[in-house]
A and B are shown apart, each in its own frame.
Chain A
Amino acid sequence: MAQIVSMPKLGFDMAEGTLVRWVANEGENITKGSVLAEIETDKATVEVESTYTGVLLRQLVQQGAVVPINDPIAVIGEAGEEINIEALLEKTAGSEKSTTVEKPAVGEAVQSAAVLPAPSSETPAGIAGGLHASPLARSIAAEMGVDLRMVRGTGPGGRITKKDIASYQVKAPEPEMAKTPSVLPVPLAAPSIEFIRETRRLPLPKLRAVIGRRMTESMQQAPHFYVTHEYDVGALVDRRKEINTLLSEDDKLSVNDFIVRAVALTLLEYPNLNASLDLKNNALIYHGEINIGVAVAVENGLLTVVNRNTDQKTVHQISSELKVMVNRARVGKVRPEDIEGSTFTVSNLGMYEVDQFTAIINPPEAAILAVGSARQVPTVTNGEIRIGTRMKATLSVDHRISDGAEGARFLQSLVKFIEEPLRLLI
């Protein structure tokens, strides 16, 4: 029996996705779990896996097409199977709306017309692609923080039920986490588009549009104030060098890994800066987890990858996890869970030799730390000029949540972790 694969809903607010590339071709054998296509959403490029085993009979949309969630994108069935798309969709959905599809290129008998009724917005039972889980499974998963996409459904039509969540074991860090490949090179210089002596008009990339919307919202709604502090990072730089001699090339720690942990530990003392404003209900949300977002430059923009429960992890662990996510972000394969749920963000432009800068708060967070380069500077100690290593960091704070004094104290509290880095290693 042929099955329809639909545009999956990959994020909470995803309404449509761009099918950027077909990975599997028509006529190709597909096994459950193999990658069918790549889809670009507001936030990331994600691979769509097949929920069926069979032959990819039809690609229903062209590369580059923008497809609303739950709309059909492919048909999977048995080799040589006659498919009647209309009947197939009728059976599972039934809607008047129609969209045009390309004629199939494969040789098998296809009875369908070129007009294809799109299914209604709700996914009927049996249609794959979207998350197929019972309401109970969804509420339990939300409560337990289980990512339903990781759970295999064994109910009718592959539906995830309560039983499946119960039997789902939270797996230890995936093997790729353990392997920790080295971070891909940071785009240090190369401009992302070539200069051409001709004025051109290009569509705004999705990611740019999202960044634009969120940053405008943040700047317009959150009254920012900024506090800067200069840290003596001599000990940290030395300590890092020492530790890195023990680690393989792929495994080396960055200054930022130390700072991320330092920030997480300091936030334990400043829950007010690990909070969000709920304006609608006149409430402050104090987050029960410290999840540090790290801004990552990617093609066409930036993403914030999220390290969860950072205060409970070692620098090495933080480093490994960040590397995996940063790599996924740089190759455009970021997963929704990589970029959701941060409670505080660190933006580090240290590698670009900046003295200091100010960052825009990543809403709905309360603050963001902008970290500059660690550089050798003349310092005065006991009336003597010496060579020291200093790094400036600027905290941007939402004035609706906190005030200057707290911001300043936070930066002061950060001193003990950054300037006495042994504290980060215990």
Chain B
Amino acid sequence: MPRITMREAISQALWEEMERDTRVFIMGEEVGVWGGSYAVTKGFYDHFGAERVKDTPISEATIIGAAIGAALTGLRPVAELMTINFAFSAFEHIVNQAAKLHYMFAGQMVLPLVIRTVGGGGRQLAATHSQTPDVVFAHFPGLKVVAPGTPEDAKGLLKSAIRSDDPILFIESATLYQSRGEVAEGENLIPIGKSKIQRPGKDVTIVSYSKMLETSMKAADQLAQEGIEVEIVDLRTLRPLDMEPVLESFKKTNRAVIVEEGWRSYGVGAEVSARIYEEAFDYVDAPIQRVAQKEVPLPYNRNLEQLALPQVEDVVKAVKEVL
């Protein structure tokens, strides 16, 4: 199987879907002539043309508003927001329109809309451009939130997202584009809303996703040298949240650490640990630990930024805490 980067995997998914279905088109800031700020759509403009690879004004509300209109009238837009931090400018359209239209109008229309965006910190882009507000969007019923952590999942999930009739926020991690993984050639659709065990183990369950999956994997490698076998469950989708593999794993290990890049308060860790306590209380052998970003606007200074973001050592420490 070829080992390709996350960037290539996402690019392949888009390319294949655009080839497959002429209703699929891309719109966003610099996605056309420039090839995307993260070079995901490089070459698309020349191949598919300006009609299907649309550069837009710098106005996120306009991008999402127009994409919603296009989706309602039968197209299958993939709208790109340069970073998730800009999604706040389109918040009304995303959570009040996209997430609700199907429900508000008694299911008369569907909304096959994919919003691709980029989240996460660690690239010294300072507080306003480095956020991980995934849970903010996952809070709203009606919107699906997907956040893959491997190239294979990114490709399979994005293809499923484009074929879905529901509005989907597809969050990529800025620091994962270069990460490599094996991706099978050809069609490999991965269903949205299914968590996956990315690494089997028996001592502690780590629940994570996206960039922090990589961090957790490194921590697991380190812990394995000390004889601690960590099982890692990758959520892959925050809404709908698939707890089944998490609970199954937890009932085996009785201990869990939840690792997320966003802030701890009201976070993924809060939600997942609450569900474990609710549904597997009698299997709890130690208080569940959460690893997350320090509760500050992320500093620009490189050292401070790294201190604020969850690191491999933080995960290792948390795992030892629950053992």
Judge: A and B partners, yes or no. yes
Q: Are B281 and A161 in contact (CB under 8 A)?
A: no
Q: Are A136 and B287 in contact (CB under 8 A)?
A: no
Q: Are B282 and A161 in contact (CB under 8 A)?
A: no
Chain A's closest residue to B321 (CB) is A156
Q: Are A162 and B282 in contact (CB under 8 A)?
A: no
Q: Are B282 and A139 in contact (CB under 8 A)?
A: yes
- Residues of chain B within 8 A (CB-CB) of A159 are 286
Q: What is the minimal beta-carbon distance from A155 to any residue of chain B, in angstroms? A: 7
Contact with B along A134-152 (1 / 0, CB 8 A): 1111110000000000000
Q: What is the minimal beta-carbon distance from A140 to any residue of chain B, in angstroms? A: 9
- Residues of chain A within 8 A (CB-CB) of B40 are none
| A window 278-293: CB within 8 A of B | none
Q: What is the minimal beta-carbon distance from B109 to any residue of chain A, in angstroms? A: 47
Q: What is the minimal beta-carbon distance from A67 to any residue of chain B, in angstroms? A: 27
- Residues of chain A within 8 A (CB-CB) of B91 are none
Contact with A along B224-254 (1 / 0, CB 8 A): 0000000000000000000000000000001
B284 within 8 A of A: yes
Q: What is the minimal beta-carbon distance from A162 to any residue of chain B, in angstroms? A: 5
Chain B's closest residue to A163 (CB) is B285
- Residues of chain A within 8 A (CB-CB) of B282 are 135-136, 138-139
| B window 250-296: CB within 8 A of A | 254, 281-287
- How distant is the Cα of A137 from the Cα of B284 in the complex, in angstroms? 8
- Residues of chain B within 8 A (CB-CB) of A155 are 285-286
Chain B's closest residue to A133 (CB) is B285
Chain A's closest residue to B251 (CB) is A136
- Residues of chain B within 8 A (CB-CB) of A162 are 254, 285
Q: What is the minimal beta-carbon distance from B97 to any residue of chain A, in angstroms? A: 43
A23 within 8 A of B: no
- How distant is the Cα of A125 from the Cα of B322 in the complex, in angstroms? 14
- Residues of chain B within 8 A (CB-CB) of A125 are 287
Q: What is the minimal beta-carbon distance from A151 to any residue of chain B, in angstroms? A: 13
- Residues of chain B within 8 A (CB-CB) of A138 are 282
- How distant is the Cα of A137 from the Cα of B285 in the complex, in angstroms? 7
- How distant is the Cα of A155 from the Cα of B287 in the complex, in angstroms? 11
Q: Are A135 and B286 in contact (CB under 8 A)?
A: no
- How distant is the Cα of A159 from the Cα of B285 in the complex, in angstroms? 9
| B window 149-191: CB within 8 A of A | none
Chain B's closest residue to A162 (CB) is B285
Q: Are A156 and B283 in contact (CB under 8 A)?
A: no
- How distant is the Cα of A139 from the Cα of B284 in the complex, in angstroms? 10
Q: Are B283 and A161 in contact (CB under 8 A)?
A: no
Q: Are A156 and B286 in contact (CB under 8 A)?
A: yes
- How distant is the Cα of A125 from the Cα of B286 in the complex, in angstroms? 11
Q: Are A135 and B284 in contact (CB under 8 A)?
A: yes
| A window 136-194: CB within 8 A of B | 136-139, 155-156, 159, 161-162
- Residues of chain A within 8 A (CB-CB) of B287 are 125
Q: What is the minimal beta-carbon distance from B79 to any residue of chain A, in angstroms? A: 46
- How distant is the Cα of A137 from the Cα of B255 in the complex, in angstroms? 12
Q: What is the minimal beta-carbon distance from A318 to any residue of chain B, in angstroms? A: 35
- How distant is the Cα of A139 from the Cα of B282 in the complex, in angstroms? 6
- Residues of chain B within 8 A (CB-CB) of A156 are 286
Chain B's closest residue to A142 (CB) is B282
- Residues of chain B within 8 A (CB-CB) of A161 are 285-286
- Residues of chain A within 8 A (CB-CB) of B283 are 135-136, 139
- How distant is the Cα of A159 from the Cα of B284 in the complex, in angstroms? 12
- How distant is the Cα of A125 from the Cα of B321 in the complex, in angstroms? 14
Q: What is the minimal beta-carbon distance from B281 to any residue of chain A, in angstroms? A: 5
| A window 91-139: CB within 8 A of B | 125, 134-139
- How distant is the Cα of A180 from the Cα of B285 in the complex, in angstroms? 39
Chain A's closest residue to B277 (CB) is A135
Q: What is the minimal beta-carbon distance from B261 to any residue of chain A, in angstroms? A: 27
- How distant is the Cα of A161 from the Cα of B285 in the complex, in angstroms? 6
Chain B's closest residue to A125 (CB) is B287
- How distant is the Cα of A136 from the Cα of B281 in the complex, in angstroms? 8
- Residues of chain A within 8 A (CB-CB) of B286 are 134, 155-156, 159, 161
- Residues of chain A within 8 A (CB-CB) of B281 are 135
- Residues of chain B within 8 A (CB-CB) of A135 are 281-285
Q: What is the minimal beta-carbon distance from B218 to any residue of chain A, in angstroms? A: 26
- Residues of chain A within 8 A (CB-CB) of B285 are 134-137, 155, 161-162
Contact with A along B33-54 (1 / 0, CB 8 A): 0000000000000000000000
- Residue of A135, A155, A162 with most partner-chain B CB within 10 A: A135
Shortest 9 CB-CB contacts between residues of A and residues of B: A139-B282, A136-B285, A135-B284, A134-B285, A162-B285, A161-B285, A136-B254, A135-B281, A135-B282
Taking beta carbons and an 8 Å cutoff, which residues of A are in contact with B? 125, 134-139, 155-156, 159, 161-162
Taking beta carbons and an 8 Å cutoff, which residues of B are in contact with A? 254, 281-287
Sampled A-B contacts (21; CB under 8 Å): A125-B287, A134-B254, A134-B284, A134-B285, A134-B286, A135-B282, A135-B283, A135-B284, A135-B285, A136-B282, A136-B283, A136-B284, A136-B285, A137-B285, A138-B282, A139-B282, A139-B283, A155-B286, A159-B286, A161-B285, A162-B254
**Known contacts A135-B284, A136-B285; can you find 13 more A-B pairs with CB under 8 A?**
A125-B287, A134-B254, A134-B284, A134-B285, A135-B282, A135-B285, A136-B283, A138-B282, A139-B283, A155-B286, A156-B286, A159-B286, A162-B285
